[in-house]
Each structure stands twice: as structure tokens, then as C-alpha cells.
């Protein structure tokens, strides 16, 4: 049976860096994937830059086969200036409408403040309540190069891996629309290091390439 998958990312490019190979794998399996972007509205970016990033997000989504893209347009790099309740309430209607079975989002220890607020907002919006989100089976956090590995206090310790040996090249192609956000090697956010991280995560579990996650919640639903 096909799944409804929701990826909640702070910014355009986080979705493909964090779980692009996994998204492609879900799509290949017939699952319906939706991506929600929390930020990239006005703040540190010019209006033309915001339009370009949205175009890049849509081109990346097309390359991966993503069904729906949702833009909440909270201010970039200022999510901590917004009351958490407001952030959560902007997210909740979309989660309830989609009733996903799997959610992917950020690691709560990332250096980037928008990533941390996004992770907190997702867990708050998905707090277990009787009758809420009946389909939800798993919530997982992904890693984003140049944020997760620069964490000050928390270490990303994966306990869940997804084999992307068959979809890594699709992930790399889907990164192309975000070329302006990529950096030259040996910067962690370089094409070479994206590939090398997938190789390292794959080697950890005996496959060629993988994406790694922290499993935040897993619920076995009644049949």
C-alpha cells in the first residue's frame, strides 16, 4: 500500500540535502511525497533572490517527482523571533490535511536556528493525542551538511538508515537547481562531500550509498 510522506524543511535545498535519495525512493515505490518549506520569506534575502529560490525548489521537486510544495514564507534565519505557537499553528493544518504516515524533518541540534525551530514545531504539531494523525507511523530527523555536523551541543547519532544506492544519482541531479547554494570542495556543502557522506552512511550498514536518520517516533498501528 502506498504511503503519504511529508518532508518539513526549513529552507529550499534542505529537503534534497537531507533526504533527496529517500524522496526519490518513495516516489519510485508509488508513494505520494509532499514538501513543506517553513522559511525563506523576507528578511536576509532580497525579493528577487526569494523568487529564484522558489523556482529552484520547484525545479528540484519536479526532478524528484514531489507531488506538492508548500511555502509558509516565515522570515529566513529569524524563526526564533516568531512565537513558537504561531509557527506550530501555521504547520498544523497542513499536517492534519495530509495525515501522513511518515514525516521527515530536521535534527534538533543543528547549528542553524531555523532548523532547530522547525524540528521543535514538527514535534509539537505531532504531539500524540487520541484520534489525531491516525496514519502517522514514523517521524525521522535528517542531517544537512554545513549545519548538522557543526552542532555545538548535540551529536547526530543515526539509528535508522535508508539505502539510496539506486537513487543517489537522482539526488545529485536534483541538487543542480540549487547550484548557487553549493560550495567548492573541501567545503562540507560541496557535491563531492554530499556523495562522500552517502558513501560513508552506506558503508556503515553494508550498502553502497545510504541516508541516515534519527528515528524520533515509531508507532505500530492496529490493522
- Over range 3-18, report the average pLDDT: 98
Asked if the structure places residue 167 within a domain, the reply is yes
Q: How many domains would you assign to the chain?
A: 1
Residue-wise pLDDT tens digits, 121-167: 999 999 998 888 999 999 999 999 999 999 988 999 999 999 999 99
pTM, two decimals, is 0.96
Say if residue 42's pLDDT is above 80: no
Q: Is residue 223 a part of any domain in this protein? A: no
Number of other residues whose CB lies within 10 A of the CB of residue 1: 5
In a domain? residue 49: yes
- As a whole number of angstroms, the distance between CA 36 and CA 103 comes to 11
CA distances from 22 to 5, 75, 102, 205 (A): 11, 28, 12, 16
| 50 falls within a domain | yes
Q: State the number of CA atoms in the 13 A half-sphere of 166 facing the CB.
A: 9
CB-count burial class (<10 Å; 0-12, 13-18, 19+) for 2: exposed
Residue range(s) defining the domain that contains residue 48: 4-218
The x, y and z cell numbers of residue 215, run together, are: 528515528
CATH code for the domain of 142: 3.40.50.10320
How many helices and strands, by DSSP H and E, does the chain display?
6, 7
Amino acid at each position: 500500500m502506498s504511503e503519504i510522506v511529508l518532508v518539513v524543511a526549513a529552507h529550499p535545498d534542505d529537503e534534497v540535502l537531507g533526504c533527496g535519495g529517500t524522496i526519490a525512493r518513495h516516489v519510485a515505490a508509488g508513494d505520494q511525497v509532499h514538501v513543506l518549506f517553513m522559511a525563506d520569506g523576507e528578511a536576509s534575502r532580497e525579493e528577487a533572490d526569494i523568487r529564484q529560490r522558489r523556482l529552484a525548489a520547484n525545479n528540484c521537486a519536479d526532478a524528484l517527482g514531489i507531488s506538492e510544495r508548500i511555502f509558509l514564507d516565515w522570515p529566513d534565519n529569524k524563526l526564533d523571533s516568531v512565537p513558537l505557537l504561531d509557527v506550530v499553528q501555521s504547520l498544523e493544518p497542513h499536517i492534519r490535511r495530509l495525515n501522513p504516515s511518515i514525516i521527515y524533518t530536521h535534527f534538533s541540534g543543528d547549528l542553524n536556528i531555523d532548523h532547530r525551530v522547525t524540528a521543535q514545531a514538527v514535534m509539537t504539531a505531532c504531539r500524540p493525542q487520541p484520534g489525531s494523525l491516525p496514519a502517522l507511523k514514523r517521524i525521522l530527523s535528517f542531517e544537512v551538511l554545513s549545519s548538522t555536523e557543526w552542532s555545538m551541543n548535540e551529536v547526530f547519532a543515526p539509528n535508522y538508515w535508508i539505502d539510496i544506492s539506486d537513487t543517489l544519482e537522482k539526488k545529485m541531479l536534483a541538487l543542480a537547481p540549487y547550484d548557487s547554494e553549493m560550495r567548492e570542495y573541501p567545503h562540507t556543502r560541496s557535491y563531492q562531500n554530499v556523495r562522500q557522506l552517502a558513501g560513508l552512511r552506506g558503508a556503515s550498514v553494508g550498502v553502497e550509498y545510504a541516508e541516515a536518520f534519527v528515528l524520533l517516533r515509531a508507532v505500530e498501528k492496529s490493522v
